[in-house]
Every structure is written in C-alpha cells, then in structure tokens.
Chain A
Amino acid sequence: MASEALKEIRRIEAEAGKRILEASEEAERLEAAATEKAVQIEKEMVEKAELEAKRKAEEARKEAEKEAERIIKEAEKEVSAIRRQIEENLEEAVKAVLNAVLVG
C-alpha cells in the first residue's frame, strides 16, 4: 500500500513538474514573441519616420523651388525695368560722357 502511495506521489510530482515546465515554455514563447514584436515596432516606426521625413523634404524642395522661381521672376521684372530706363535715359547719358570727354 505504501509503495502504491509513493508511486502516486511520484506521478503527482511529475504532473506538477510538467505544469511548471509548460509555464516556463509558455514564458519563453511570450518573450520570443515580444522580442519579435519589438523588432517589428522599431522597423515600423523607423519606416514611418523615413516616409514622413521624405514628405517633409519634398515639401521643402517644392517651397524652395517656388520661392526661387518668384525671386527670378522679380529679377526678370527688374531687368525689364532697367532696360526701359536705359532706353529712356540713353541719350542723356551719352551726352554726359561726351561732355566729360570734350569739356572735362
């Protein structure tokens, strides 16, 4: 009878050991999944940031192009105005040069 009881206790202990082993395995699985998830989280956030950065860079590039275009257009207007001034004042300026050479 005592031997039967001992056997039963060994069986129960084995069952308990199995339970603990299962828990340890489950813990390992959880941690492995977490490590994988952590890698995934990092990858996704970095990708998202890269996309956002690309979008902002493109935005800045467009703004710069627009501003550069505006500056050049302004300069073109100024050049046209200068050319008009040259036409209007050419004669007076030529006379001033002639005066400087001939009269001093």
Chain B
Amino acid sequence: MSEQVEVRKFEETPIEERLERIRKKIMDDANREAQRILEEARKRVEKVIEEAEKRAERKASEILRKEVEAAEREKRKVIAEAKLKARQMVTVAKEEGIKRVLEEAKRRLEELVTSKDYGRILEKIIERGAIAIGGGELEVVLPKEHANIELNLEKIASEVSEKTGVKTTLEKSGETIYATGGAIIRRKDRSLLINNTFESILEREEKDIRVKIAKILFAS
C-alpha cells in the first residue's frame, strides 16, 4: 500500500479511531523508551555489582595474603627464638660442667700442695721447665708458702743435663711469687723463663684443657 493511500485512508477514518491510533503510537514509543531506559539501568547495575565483587575479592585476597604472611613471619620468629634459647640452655649446661671440672681441679691442686707427695711433684714440674728452657745455669722461683720445701735440685739438674746435653745447675731464687703451686724456672741471667705455676699453666693451656674436658664430659 502506497503512502498516499495510507494518508487518504487515515483521513477517512473517524476522529476517535484516529486519536486512538495516535495515542497507541505515542504510548508504544514511550513504553519502548521506558523499557530501554530500564534495560540500560539494569545493565549498569549488573556491572556495578560485578565490579564491586571483583574489587572486594581483590581486597579480601590482599588482606588474607598480608595477614597470613605476617603470621608466618611471627611464627618463624617465635620458633627461631625458641631454637636460640634451646641452644643457649645446652651451651650454659655444658659451660657449667666445664666450669665445675676446672673448679674441682683447682680445689684438688690446692689440696695437693699441702700433701707430703707435693715435693716430688714439684721436682717433676721444675724438671719439665728446666728441660723446656734447654738447661744451663738456672734458678727456681717458688711461691712464698713453698720456699722451704725440700727439693733435690742437684738430682734434677743432673737429669736435665743428661736429657738436654747441656751442663745444668739449679738453685732456689731468693725471690718468691704469689701462686697456688708450681714454680717459675728461669736462666740466671734472666734471658729466658718458663712459668710453670698452676695458674700460669691453666691460663696458657686453657683452650686445650677445655677441649679435653668437653671431649671427656660430652663424648657419648
């Protein structure tokens, strides 16, 4: 049907019917527009929710990651501290053992110097020092308390001469020292000295002695 025919037909139609057709057209257009507006709004709503969910998921996962990492760090710290404390406990216990042995040894050395055998032991200490010094004209410096102990210095000198091949003489020095036991052996010209007092030996040999003690105490 052509447009002219359409127009003619419309003009021939009663006014009420024409108005109804206009009304229907306007309302149909309005409804379509309203529908479009709502449809677009619904799409925007969906997008807003979808984006919010994604954003929230990202935030949540970031919170969780950070907190879990912090908790793991804290856990590692607590365990590391416990391990350190455990090592310290063991070290302290071992050190206590070594200290106890050294204290007991010192106590027995103090006892030893009052025993009747000490003279013979002192002679051996002097001999050892004299040999280490290489013999020669030597003198022995003793603690004040042991200055009067009888010592066979001639016999020691003879032994030293024999072992070093150097003619050796030994005499007590007029000087005395502060020490628990042992002696200082030195050349008369004071060019060389061996300090074999108990304190000096313990100090000099401390590292080796501690290793020996540890091996004996904690070997098994």
Contact = CB atoms under 8 A, between A and B. Distances in A.
Contacts of A44: 56
Contacts, number: 224
Interface residues of A, number: 71
Q: How large is the interface on B (under 10, 10 to 19, 20 to 34, 35 or more residues)?
A: 35 or more
Interface majority SS on A: helix, strand, loop or mixed?
helix
B19 A15 contact: no
Interface in B81-112: 81-83, 85-87, 89-90, 93-94, 96-97, 100-102, 104-105, 108-109, 112
A39 B52 CA distance: 7
A27 B37 contact: yes
Interface majority SS on B: helix, strand, loop or mixed?
helix
A64 B74 contact: yes
> Which of B71, B72, B121, B128 has the largest number of chain A CB atoms within 10 A?
B71
B104 A30 contact: no
Interface in B125-155: 125, 128
Interface of A: 1, 5, 8-9, 12-13, 15-17, 19-20, 22-24, 26-28, 30-31, 33-35, 37-39, 41-42, 44-46, 48-50, 52-54, 56-57, 59-61, 63-65, 67-69, 71-72, 74-76, 78-79, 82-83, 85-86, 89-90, 92-94, 96-98, 100-104
